[in-house]
Amino acid sequence: MRTAPKRLAIWGSLAAVLVIGLAYALQPQPVPVDLATLQIGPLRVTIDEEGETRVREVYTLHAPLRGQLQRITAEAGDPVKAGETLLGQIEPAAPAFLDVRTEAEQRAAVEAAGAAYNLAAAELNKAKADLAFAEAERGRARLLMERNTISKRTLDDAERIYNVAEANLATAEAALNVRRHELSQARSRLLSRQEMRNRSGPCECVALTAPVNGVVLRVMRRSEGVVDAGTPLLEIGDPDDMELIVNLLSEDAVQLKPGQKAIVTNWGGQDLNAIVRRIEPFGQTKVSALGIEEQRVDVVLDFTDPSAQWPTLGHGYRADARIILFEGNVLKLPLGALFRQTDNWAVFTAEEGHARLRMVVVGQRNSLEVEIRDGLGPGEQVILYPSDRITEGIAIIER
């Protein structure tokens, strides 16, 4: 009789322990979460994009005429002074080689010019003879007129014939000079390159001087040789007068206006201050690395820091620009705490160990933080990156 109550007590205790264990195991456990506290602090909203530095005014020195360019010895980075620094010289180019047909034509032209010269010389001799005869006739007519043996008209005819003969002589002399120059011109076309080099005197070179003060940015043609008029030779600019060109998406560019502040980073030195000077009015279609067509707009930034803070920054260097859209002290929290609830933004707050759903009104935001304008207050705690396990009223514990 004593054994049965004892066994009953033992089994009853075991059953009670089992029931308590099952109840504890089935009881919902608090979900571990990460919490963030709302606080008032600085918030900066920027548009970030890669840019390229550029000297504001780049002057390209072109060849003013066709000729033989002497070798340019200037190097990139050399300082130049407007109107004084000699960068190069252009001398007359040597004549081109003649092929067989062209040479035959030029020799025939020389022979024709020689024949024309001989003809002009013969015409000159004829004019001289006519003038001598007319002069003798005029002398006899004057003598007979003094004796009144001829009429006045006959004397006038003799005078006229003499004047015409004199004019013909002047015409023949001029024609002979023309034919002489034509012969020289025809012969000059047959001069070889060596003959012209031997006949040439001091070089009548065209000096190429720097158009502005600055430094040589790039030498585009260095070697000696024949260049055509308009051939680019050098680029010159002032490296202290630098700007930054940023190629933005058109939807970002429309948010900007001249005068907005910007920060230049990742150029190899300390961050630099800049401002937006111009938003180009013309967009360009470009294809991204993913093959997507994008409308891009060039935005020009001016450095506001003195050039002494970026002495090693040159033309065509890469730099990152962060154009500031908003900057101020606001009530903020990490962007990862927000999620969409229908058409509104919402967060889960931590209140006495439980999650509570709260609707909020947001303002400015960047890639990390967001401004809270309504729905929460300073010091409240919100759940970061809430998963689908977080629901209204569920027990939570900070991770």
Mean pLDDT of 252-262: 94
DSSP-derived letter for residue 49 is E
201, pLDDT greater than 60: no
Instruction: Provide, rounded to the nearest whole percent, the portion of the chain with pLDDT above 90.
Output: 48
DSSP-derived letter for residue 395 is B
Q: Give pTM, 2 decimals.
A: 0.66
Number of CB atoms found within 10 A of residue 17's CB: 10
Residue 3 pLDDT: 62
Q: What is the pLDDT of residues 358-391, one digit of tens each?
A: 999 999 998 899 999 999 999 999 999 998 888 8
- Range with the poorest average pLDDT among 265-274, 280-289, 296-305: 280-289
Written as six digits, the tokens of 74 are 């200037």
Residue 1 pLDDT: 45
| Residues 70, 192 contacting (CB under 8 angstroms) | no
143, pLDDT greater than 90: no
Query: CB-hemisphere CA count at 13 Å for 92?
Result: 11
Rounded Cα distance, 46 and 320, in Å: 12
- The residue that leads in pLDDT, 10 or 245, is 245
Residue 12 pLDDT: 74
Q: What is the pLDDT of residues 331-360, one digit of tens each?
A: 999 999 999 988 899 999 999 889 999 999
Please name the helix (run of DSSP H) or strand (run of DSSP E) that holds residue 198, with its range, or none.
Answer: helix 193-199
39, pLDDT greater than 80: yes
| Residues 87, 74 contacting (CB under 8 angstroms) | yes
Hey, is 26 helix, strand or coil?
A: helix
Q: What is the pLDDT of residues 319-332, one digit of tens each?
A: 999 999 999 999 99
